[in-house]
Amino acid sequence: MKILLHGCNGRMGRVITRLIEESQVPEMQVVCGVDMNPGKLDNTYPVFPSLKEVPADIRPDVVIDFSHPSSVVNLLDFGLSRHVPLVIGTSGIAPEQRQKISDAAQKIPVLMSANMSLGISLVLSLVAQAAQVLGKSFDIEIVEKHHSQKIDAPSGTAVMIADAINAALGNSMDYVYGRRGDDESLKRKPNQIGIHAVRGGTIVGEHDAIFAGPGEVVEIRHAALSRDIFGYGALEAARFLPGKPPELYSMKDVIESKAV
């Protein structure tokens, strides 16, 4: 399988390159990379500064994207013009960009997930179940922690968790991002999900969904100890996507395909 790695010299791009070059996934090959700093690393494959500069004779089977939300339009243009499936792992994508991705997925297969790990997919199922059981009699808060260099807040994964809870409650909840002040308006309302971001050090990623009720607290927690889990997930997504009909897929589709 021939992979074009978009954002190849970033944190996740380096992880995926290492996993493939260590032959832990020997059936895959990075045929080229794209990065705004093409000479940053001594890559073993050609690296171009933009998708527009990828030669026509390089024909990847799939693109794995861990770049920046500002690159979404160029990424979709490349996928559509070259008829190449896209795995989008970039976080911080705005609602209007999500709509463009959904539109593109009507013509090419696209898999988008703010978190590629198997564990987070399980967490999404668990928080939805907890919301259905505990209902609105419990207050719900989400706390996410990441490294000091993360540029978006809250994390895409925190939003995924909130959305899973909200969907289980009929999309009746409002999101509150942090709290500050000392007036009556800051008292917690029953139809709210609080989302809080912590940034520091080299934390890979931690997410806590807290259900606080009368006399008891239930917490569902996920901690990423290595970025390798996201890399393996992205490669599983890349293995899953080629040959699929045009549609917007998620990691849930990948997991369900492996369970069959």
Say yes or no: 166 and 249 in one domain: no
Alpha carbons within 13 A on the beta-carbon side of 110: 25
Local confidence band at 182 (pLDDT 50, 70, 90 cut-offs):
confident
Q: What is the reported pTM?
A: 0.79
Say yes or no: 150 and 103 in one domain: no
- Which residues are known to be catalytic? 146, 150
How many distinct structural domains can be found in the chain? Answer: 2
The rounded distance, in Å, linking the Cα atoms of 97 and 208 is 27
**259 pLDDT more than 70:** no
Say yes or no: 162 and 236 in one domain: no
* 53, 38 Cβ separation under 8 angstroms: no
User: What's the pLDDT score for residue 24?
Assistant: 57
* 130, 218 Cβ separation under 8 angstroms: yes
CATH number at residue 17: 3.40.50.720
Nearest to 230 by CA among 62, 90, 130: 90
* 75, 63 Cβ separation under 8 angstroms: yes
Say yes or no: 108 and 149 in one domain: no
**260 pLDDT more than 70:** no
Average pLDDT of 238-247? 95
* 112, 88 Cβ separation under 8 angstroms: yes
Range of the domain at 106: 2-112+227-259
Residue with tokens 């809870």: 165
Percent helix, strand, coil in the chain (nearest 5)? 35, 25, 40
Neighbours of 198 (CB within 10 A): 11
| Cis peptide, bond prior to residue 109, ω within 30 of zero | no
The rounded distance, in Å, linking the Cα atoms of 98 and 79 is 15
Instruction: Return the structure tokens found at 37.
Output: 């700093």
Q: What is the mean pLDDT of the chain?
A: 92
| Cis peptide, bond prior to residue 46, ω within 30 of zero | no
Chain segment 106-119, per-residue pLDDT in tens: 999 999 998 888 88
User: What's the pLDDT score for residue 25?
Assistant: 63
User: What's the pLDDT score for residue 92?
Assistant: 81
